[in-house]
Chain A
Amino acid sequence: MARYIIRRLLQMVVTFVGATFVVYALMFANQNDPIQALAGDRPVSDNVRQVLTEQYHLNDPFLVQYGYYMRGLLTGDFGKTLTGRPIGDVMSDAWPNTIKLALLALFFATLFGIAAGLVAGLRRGSVFDNTTLALTLVVVGLPIIVLAPIAQLVFGVKLGWFPTTAGARPSLYGLILPALVLGAASTATILRLTRASVAENVRADYVRTARAKGLSARRVVAVHVLRNSMIPVITLIGVDLGTLMAGAIITEGVFNIPGVGSKLLLGIQTEDGPLVVGFVSVLVVVFLVTNLLVDLLYAVLDPRIRYE
């Protein structure tokens, strides 16, 4: 087990370096003149240009520049945005909002997805099963860019149940509607997977054994069916968490939430290299860590899986 974790951590280092390298290369290859970009429309004197070139190691080869950047990253120094704000500060503003939003979305997706999937899986072919099948197809088919404004219009403007936008310091209540929108696709996939998994496990031999023991129907489902059905679902939820953190760009844009997605969008639009690379680096780490945790959880849920 310990050996497995160490091997996975070493693999993570390689993945992390590779991913940041690619993003770094792409962002900087695209820039014509970073000093002019920093200055905006104002002319830049030769003196200033020379100082800045020195400061940012712009004359050094690309690999050396990347090395300087990585050194900063590993010591916790993300650098500064084009506007001169420390990227660390931007992150500490943005991450809490995105984490709150993603966890809330995952909470709703898990709650509704598993509950509805369980009922649909136990009552295959019922009205409930067919209705949820139709609904999930609609949700999966609609891109979030369509779903978000519709939800905003219906529940925010027309019905007025939720605030239309979250604002600079979003409250938990203000995040509910964005979380529902963001988690809609996850809800649908979790529901379908839970349904399929429950439908399969309900017919399993060990469920028949559990019934033969004279256990209550409730215990048979809650302990024997659900526990085994959750093994693939947990994996999906883990992968979804990473996607929800990174995939909030559109949702955060529509509902005006100052999170990672909106900062990333801003960085790409303004060609703010350090900002984009910084955020992507952290996202890569989040992805890798959640995946490792999911894999470890998998072994806890299914004792047949052993990591060597």
Chain B
Amino acid sequence: MTQPNPYQQQWPGQPAAQQWPEQPAPAPVVAGWDDPNRGGWDTPTAAWSTPPSRARVTQPRSGEHLLDVRDLRVEFDTRDGVARVVNGVSFHVDPGETLAILGESGSGKSVTAQAVMGILDTPPAVVRGGQVLFGGEDLLTVSPDRRRQVRGQEIAMVFQDALSALNPVFPVGWQISEALRSRRGIGKADARRRAIELMDMVQIPASADRVDDYPHEFSGGMRQRVMIAMALAMRPKVLIADEPTTALDVTVQAQIMDLLATLRAELEMALILITHDLGVVADVADRITVMYAGRVVEQADVHTLYASPAHPYTRGLLASVPRLDHRGHGLHSISGTPPNPTAIPDGCAFHPRCPWAQQMCRMTSPALTRIGRLDRASACHFPPEALDARLA
């Protein structure tokens, strides 16, 4: 962020800029897909260098974000050595905004979320550094009591597999209102009424009849709604949803995402959506943070990211989405596997899998550098735009 970006100046002169005069690219559109001459996802095309659409992210009013995570580092002490799972992750969200954290399994996105919540198992996990600023207050340095107060009340979390994340031996209404009873001290009858209200809010039918049912008596989608109701019980300002739709089938996924988007708007919450599903992200997210091997490799608003990804990894991810209009073409994949967190390669963590890797990529780790304008950054020595410009 501190170094000036030499490629930034090339933007005004880009000839491809005229291709998209006004309208932002409709999401999700993977750039270059419709070009019959393209050789593969890693062949640079003109569309990659398309200038970004206008962001609709509201700027923070006072320069201070609601939740601002800075340079977060988490390590796990394992038998095979120290696993550096989160290596300097920074992101922020503001009220009413949806941030998606995108990455494949093992990229450190869930650990990041749990570190923000303060529910990592320590040991083996250790937060090595960074700041988690909530309303300007660093949650990593406050007292454990204050931390617990923030948890659930200010920042709440929805987990991936609702069946295992709900306690099997207590009725759902009991679990939804547990925090209210235990932390706000409200009475049993009140708690039950609040649980029914919350179940209505997440659109569980016949909530009054189902409040005393147990988690196993609900379908997968309804269980996830119960999870959401539980997270919302204390009216949090930030909701972290960790792969909330992974265990669900596609139609139910869409319903849950709609519900989250509606509730986010109604309750003026900030929503952090952790996912590996590019389809889920496109519809609801305002901004996207892409993680790889515990680092942020790219940050952009959703339209820009889909239209012109500025990191080879993001490009690979977008190209690997199966598409109906490309039937019979075979699926694209990024060759190789994500690095073992105990042995992250030197230099850029992505270089063994990157088709453009140069000597520099093997030597030095690229910093997350602003490209073009605010809120657009990539951690690549040779962001595709620049690469295209050089080839041109």
* Cβ of B133 under 8 Å from chain A: no
Q: How far is the CA of A221 from the CA of B36 in the complex (A)?
A: 60
Complex Cα–Cα for A215 and B182 (A): 7
Residues in B neighbouring A302, C-beta threshold 8 A: 168-169
A260-303 vs B, CB cutoff 8 Å, 1 = contact: the mask equals 00000000000000000000000000000000000000000111
Q: In the docked arrangement, what's the CA distance between A65 and B117, Å?
A: 74
Contact with B along A203-215 (1 / 0, CB 8 A): 1111011111111
Of B20-28, B156-164, B334-342, B345-353, the one contacting chain A is B156-164
Interface residues of A in 215-249 (CB under 8 A from B): 215-216, 219, 224, 227-228, 231
- Asked if B216 CB lies within 8 Å of chain A CBs, one says yes
Q: A209-B159, A215-B182 are in contact. Are A228 and B119 (CB under 8 A)?
A: no
Are A205 and B164 also in contact (CB < 8 A) when A215-B183, A227-B169, A303-B169 are? Answer: yes
CB distance from B128 to the nearest CB of A (A): 21
A228 touches B157 (CB 8 A): no
Partner of A303, one of B114, B168, B182: B168
The answer to whether B167 touches A209 (Cβ under 8 A) is yes
State whether the Cβ of A304 lies closer than 8 Å to any Cβ in chain B: yes
Q: Give the chain A neighbours of B178 by CB distance below 8 A.
A: 210, 213, 215
B161 close to A205 (CB less than 8 A): yes
Alpha-carbon separation in the docked complex, A301 to B214 (Å): 12
Checking A212, A224, A303 against B119 with a beta-carbon cut-off of 8 angstroms, the contacting residue is A212
Q: B230 in the interface, Cβ–Cβ < 8 Å? A: yes
Which residues of B lie under 8 Å from residue A213 when comparing CB positions?
A: 151-152, 156, 178-179, 230, 233-234
Residue B153 lies at the interface, judged by CB distance under 8 Å to chain A: yes
Q: Find chain B residues with CB under 8 A from A215 CB.
A: 152, 178-179, 182-183
Chain B contacts with A in 23-51, Cβ cutoff 8 A: none
How far apart are the CA atoms of A210 and B114 in the complex, in Å? 13
B166 on the A face (CB < 8 A): yes
In the complex, A301→B168 CA distance in Å? 10
Which residues on A sit within 8 Å (CB–CB) of B216? 303-304
Chain A's nearest CB lies how many Å from the CB of B186?
Answer: 14
Evaluate contact between A210 and B167: CB separation under 8 angstroms. Answer: yes
When the two chains form the complex, which single residue of A208, A216, A228 contacts B159, counting CB atoms closer than 8 Å?
A208
Contact A228 B179, CB 8 Å, known A214-B148, A214-B151, A214-B153: no
User: Once bound together, how far apart are the Cα atoms of A214 and B139, in whole Å?
Assistant: 14
| Distance of A158 Cα from B47 Cα, bound (Å) | 92
Q: Which residue of A lies closest to B214 (CB)?
A: A303
Do B168 and A214 have beta carbons less than 8 Å apart? no
**CB-defined interface of A192-208 with B at 8 Å, one 1/0 digit per residue?**
00000000000111101
Given contacts A214-B149, A216-B148, A304-B214, contact A209 B182 (CB under 8 A): no
Cβ contacts under 8 Å, A228 to chain B: 167-169
Closest residue of B by beta carbon distance from A203: B121
B165 within 8 Å of A by Cβ? yes
* Bound: A15/B26 CA distance, A: 73
Interfacial chain B residues near A203, Cβ < 8 Å: 121
Q: Which of A214, A219, A302 has the most CB of B within 10 A?
A: A214
Min distance, Cβ A204 to any Cβ of chain B, angstroms: 7
Per-position binary interface string of chain B over residues 113-154, scored 1 when its CB falls under 8 Å from any chain A CB and 0 otherwise: 010010101000000000000000000000000001111110
B residues in contact with A214, CB < 8 Å: 148-153, 179, 183, 234
Collect the chain A residues with CB atoms within 8 Å of residue B214's CB: 303-304
Inter-subunit contact A224/B159 (CB<8 Å) = no
Q: Is the CB of A301 within 8 A of B165?
A: no
A259 to B228: give the CA distance in the assembly, Å. Answer: 58
Interchain CB contact under 8 A, B156 and A206? no
* B234 surroundings in chain A (CB, below 8 A): 213-214
- Which residue on chain B has the smallest CB distance to residue A202? B121
Q: Which of A208, A212, A304 contacts B168 (CB 8 A)?
A: A304
A164 to B227, CA, bound (A): 59
Ordered by A's residue number, 11 sampled pairs between the chains whose C-beta atoms are within 8 Å are A203-B121, A205-B164, A206-B167, A208-B159, A209-B166, A212-B151, A214-B153, A214-B234, A228-B169, A303-B169, A304-B214
B residues apposed to A, CB below 8 Å = 114, 117, 119, 121, 148-153, 156-157, 159, 161, 164-170, 178-179, 182-183, 214, 216, 227, 230-231, 233-234
Given contacts A212-B157, A214-B148, A227-B169, 13 further A-B contacts (CB under 8 A): A208-B114, A209-B227, A210-B167, A210-B178, A213-B156, A213-B234, A214-B149, A214-B183, A227-B170, A228-B168, A302-B169, A303-B214, A304-B214
